[in-house]
Every structure is written in C-alpha cells, then in structure tokens.
Amino acid sequence: MARKTQSTTVSVGDLCAALAHIAPLNLAQSWDNVGLLAGDRAAAARSALLCIDLTPSVADEAIAGRFDLVIAYHPPIFKPISRLSAQNDGPEASVFRCITAGIAIYSLHTALDAAEGGTNDVIAELCGIRGCEALASMYPLDGQTVKLVVFVPAENLEVVAEAMFTAGAGHIGEYSHCSYRLEGTGTFLGSDATNPAIGRKGRLETVAETRLEMVCATSAVPKVVSAMRIAHPYEEPAFDVYPMKGSPTCGIGRVGQLPGSMTLATLARKLKRAVDARGVQIVGDAGAKVSRAIIVAGAAGSLPFAVHPSAGDVIITGEIRHHDALSILRSGASAIALGHWTSERPALQSVDDRLQRAVPGIATRLSDADREPFAPV
C-alpha cells in the first residue's frame, strides 16, 4: 500500500499543478501528449502511483491499492483513438479500467526529459556531472504577450502611438510608452471603391511611413487594435500581430564534462550499478577514455549528433539503432545503452520526492508492477 501521511484535502487538480511545476508542460516536444490525460481535476486525491508504463499489471496494482492518480511517464494515450473499451488491444484497455475505477491518469514524458532536475539530469547526477547544459535550448511561446506592428504615415505617427499607449500597449516591466520605430516606404493602389486618405484611388501611391512596434498583453489586443484603427488615417491600416516567445529554458538532452577521465567500461559499470540495469551495452572500445557525456534518456535517435560527438565523447541513452551505432563509431565517439525503461525509471524517485514536498498530504509509491520488458537469458 501507499505510504501513510497525515490526512488533508487534496484534489487531482492540486497534483496536476504540482506536477506541472516539476515538469512544465510547455517544455514537452510538439508531438508529445503530456499532462492530465483522463480524470476529474475537482476529484479528491489521497494517493498516487508512479510508473514508466501503464501496463495491465500496473492497472491491477492501481485498482487494488485504490490509488486516485497514476503518474505514467509514457503517455498511454498517444495517438487519437476512435473507441475506448476493456477489450482494446493496446494500452487503452488499461486506461479504460482506470477510468471506470475512478483513477485519473497523468503523463510526464518529454516535459520531464527537458525539465531541470528531470530524466536527463538524474542520469547526469549519477555520472557525477555538475553544470550540465541542454543539447538545445527551447523558446516556448509566451502566450501572454504579442508584438503589435503597424505602418503609419510620418505625420500621424505620434497620434497613433499615443492612442495605442493609452489603450494598454507598450509596457515592459516598470516602463511604459515603449516602442520601436523604423522609417521606410509604403505603397498602395486603391480600387474605385476606396477613399484613400493620401493620394488618389486608381493610382499607385508611394508614402513615407514608419514601422511602429510595441509589445502588448494578449488580453489587451482587441482594445489596442480598435484604438489604433480610430487614430490611424487609413481606411485599411496595415498591421501585424506576432506571438512572442519566452526566455530560453531547458531543452531536451544534456551535455557536460565528466568529473574525471575514465574508461568507457568503468563508466558503463558505474551506471549499471546505479540504475540496477539487467544488462548494459556499449558502442566503442571498452578501454577508450571518455571525458564528456551526451545524455538522452530513452531513445537517443539523432539528437546527440546535433553536438557533433567526437573522440572522448560518450553518448548515454537507453537504446541505440544499429545505423546510429555505426555513425557513433565513425565519429570516434562511444556510447552506453542502459535500456530504454532502465534509463528513465530513476527519475521517478526524484518526482516522487518532489511531489511529496509540494503536496505533503498525498501518499505516493513507485509501482512494483512496472517492469523492464527485456530480460537477459
């Protein structure tokens, strides 16, 4: 059963909020399916079961233990499904069983891979690495802010700008009236149905204009655009609204210097013990010296090649495709494959510990039924 904790009122939504803080959903890859996949955010939640895969055995464990939430690293609902029943061939059957038992399902996957302290950082810590960097930083869309750009005749610039400022645009932190202005030339040709403020309809006109840019809260866009249209002399002012990206955040994968030069075999044995792997495979000479680690938990794919691995580099991952292994050898680098499941499982303990601190009233447990699907002969 789950660990006992003192009773308190916690909802599924509270756990979702805590998990989203541990692994922000905007860090997930665009193709992924993370967050609350099934369940009622308002429902009470007293316990959570953590696993890598929501298998039938894990579903049995969750139902028998009367858990309120299953936190599955791999999303059991990944592609759109047309029907959901206990007779489904795939993981949807386990999803159905959890739903009928009132158990919510949450997935972390690539959000946890990219998050600080997530899947890849846990492996880096086991290697003794400090100060890892992401293989590629992410710039998630801000969602709260846009950049509004409008083209204004020079003589009307200040009137239009002031109207937009008054309506709420141009605020950056404690500064107001923030804008950028760039001189240029605009052209237009009005049809017979137009009534241009400058020049004549039916004739190509050339006008000295200023590109006026300012940031604007997404919620204020309708008001600012309306004020701009009223102040602008043109019947059809040309303007654009651009979504803003946030500050760079942690991205997928990690790269960092090992604490000291060691052989590939030494590092492989160290990691095998640390993650309790049934078997570990290496690519390269067991006696080769390695000094820099490129870490991609799960399946490495082509991601490590973005940093151009070379002699002294070791790629640490779960599984490696045959032709990628050949590419690693050609580069002069080496690799360690811990097993897909095995490379991801250590992060669950970190999530468990952080969830306990964030929501003290919740009882949690790492699944006993969640198992590495491969076994040595």
Q: Give residue-wise pLDDT tens across range 36-93.
A: 999 999 999 999 999 999 999 999 999 999 999 999 999 999 988 888 888 887 888 9
DSSP 8-state secondary structure symbol assigned to residue 174:
T
Same fold, 12-108+346-366 and 119-138+251-337: yes
The packing angle between helices 119-127 and 346-358, to 10°, is 110
CA distances from 331 to 33, 126, 229, 246 (A): 34, 25, 58, 35
Kindly indicate whether the domain formed by 12-108+346-366 is annotated with CATH number 3.40.50.2300.
no
The packing angle between helices 264-275 and 119-127, to 10°, is 120
Q: What is the pLDDT of residue 140?
A: 67
Q: What is the pLDDT of residue 150?
A: 97
The residue extents of the domains of the chain are 12-108+346-366, 119-138+251-337, 141-245
CB atoms within 10 A of CB 319: 18
Q: What is the pLDDT of residue 130?
A: 81
Alpha-carbon dihedral sign for residues 53, 54, 56, 60: positive
Give the CATH fold of the 119-138+251-337 domain: 3.40.1390
Tokens 């880096």 belong to residue: 124
The pLDDT tens digits along the chain (377 residues) read 444 444 458 999 999 999 999 999 988 988 999 999 999 999 999 999 999 999 999 999 999 999 999 999 999 999 888 888 888 878 889 999 999 999 999 999 999 999 999 999 999 999 999 888 888 776 666 678 999 999 999 999 999 999 999 999 999 888 999 999 999 998 989 898 888 888 888 899 899 999 999 999 999 999 999 999 999 999 999 999 998 877 666 788 999 999 988 999 999 999 999 999 999 999 999 999 999 999 999 998 888 888 899 999 999 999 999 999 999 999 999 999 999 999 999 999 999 999 999 999 899 999 999 999 998 88
